[in-house]
Amino acid sequence: MKHIKEHSEAKVSLYSRYFSIYLNVLARTYIKNIYLFDLFCGEGIYEDGGKGSPIAALECIRNHYFNNNKSCPNLFLAFNDLENSKIEPEKLKIDRVKVYADQIFRPDNVKVAYTQIDYSIIIEKVIIRTNELKNDERALVFIDPYGYKNINPEDIKKLIANSKTEVLLFLPIYFMSRFAEKAKDQDFKGGEALRNFLGQLFGSIDRMPSYTNQAEFIYLIQEEFKTYLKLNFVDSYKIERDNNQWFALYFFTTNPKGYLKMLESKWSLDVKHGSGFKQGDGLMLDFFNEIELTQYDKKVLEYLKNNPGATNKDLQNFGLCNNFLPKHTKQVLDEIRKTHEIEIIALDGKKASGYYLSDDKRIVNIKLKELYGNNKN
């Protein structure tokens, strides 16, 4: 790839935005050392001037340093890519990355390593290293493969096992969803990698539920990762290229605050939508399409029916675990109120005038009055 594609640019934009927030948050804590592993780092700079992930990361660090009184945490960056350059075939991609990276200012306490190691080998090294992290250390692993044949869900499980590592994984959904059914046929040799990936994730590829489109496929993978990893904090960012070719950037963390910041980053890329990027007009999946895809409105209503003692904090957490911000849960509650009566009772004895889904101080009980015979229907 000689030019950075629009879908890749959207991916790097989200990555860059999140990494900036990641630095700002950790710089104000007790964390002393931060490790960044970019395992398929690409060309660095493309022929059209587009910036790849390693350049974006270094620029984030530079900007953080100068915006914070010339200070930043200790950072250890590992950029890896095994392939030859598509732009300069006589060079390795990692050599091009180093040339451009060396032109970007970085503080003395930011160290960078460049490697050209096969993914199957380097992922084991990264797993070992991240599982040695101390309490005052954190890591972010970015996995942006050229396809999916080397990707193993078990690797994600091992990476997050220490509760100190967050993972970003980019997957070519168009190709995966297109061949998922065909891959169930053991005689289809081209489906071996997909069989292994989906088989491990779902227990068996035959156990994968049916889907009608790529957006549903993305959601299925996201929700199954939650089950497979026994982790609520898994999110996806949907990216569409021309001709209905979808990709997805998945995010994994054990940290509630980090997860909230990632959700905020995702939705802030487009205040109108926020779930993904569509090439051409800059639009993403409409919020209400996302509601329909995930049936979040039905989930909230069922939650209220089954939990009459639910508080604003409970609903805030319920929303986050379903990949929605408090403002989205508010919109859903407003819609529910059109057909059901909702009662809000402040536990501090004062008058309640809202849901308080983003309020860390007040606690209110939010419940359906129909549970006591007052359904509007």
pLDDT recorded at residue 269: 66
Which residues contact residue 179 at a Cβ distance below 8 angstroms, ignoring those fewer than 6 apart?
190, 191, 194
- pTM (two decimals): 0.87
pLDDT reported for residue 167: 97
What pLDDT shows up at residue 265?
80
For residue 297, report the phi and psi dihedrals to the nearest 5 degrees: -60, -40
What local confidence, expressed as pLDDT, does residue 6 receive?
55
160: exposed, middle or buried (C-beta count within 10 Å: 0-12, 13-18, 19+)? buried
DSSP characters over 77-97: EEEE--SBPSSSTTSBHHHHH
pLDDT at site 272: 37
The alpha carbon of residue 85 and the mean position of all alpha carbons in its chain are separated, in whole angstroms, by 28
188's tokens: 């289809």
Mean pLDDT per 10-residue interval, the chain, length 377 residues: 58 88 92 97 86 95 97 97 93 96 97 97 97 97 90 96 96 92 87 93 93 94 97 91 85 91 77 44 54 91 95 95 92 94 92 91 90 47
CB 44 within 8 A of CB 90: no
Domain ranges for the chain, please list them.
6-290, 296-372
Q: What integer pLDDT is reported at residue 245 of this predicted model?
A: 86
Are residues 340 and 308 in contact, defined by beta-carbon separation less than 8 angstroms? no
Q: What pLDDT score was predicted for residue 349?
A: 86
CATH number of 6-290: 3.40.50
Which residues lie closer than 8 Å to 52 by C-beta, 6 or more apart? 4, 12, 41, 42, 43, 44, 45, 46, 97
The pLDDT of residue 82 = 95
Question: Phi and psi at residue 181, in whole multiples of 5°?
Answer: -65, -45
pLDDT of 7 reads 60
Give the strand order in the sheet containing 137-143.
Answer: 110-115, 74-80, 33-38, 137-143, 165-171, 245-252, 234-241, 276-278
For domain 296-372, give the CATH number: 1.10.10
Same fold: 6-290 with 296-372: no
Bridge partners of 79, per DSSP, are 38, 114
Dihedral of the CA atoms 153, 238, 165, 151 (nearest 10)? 30
- Provide Rg for the chain, Cα atoms: 22
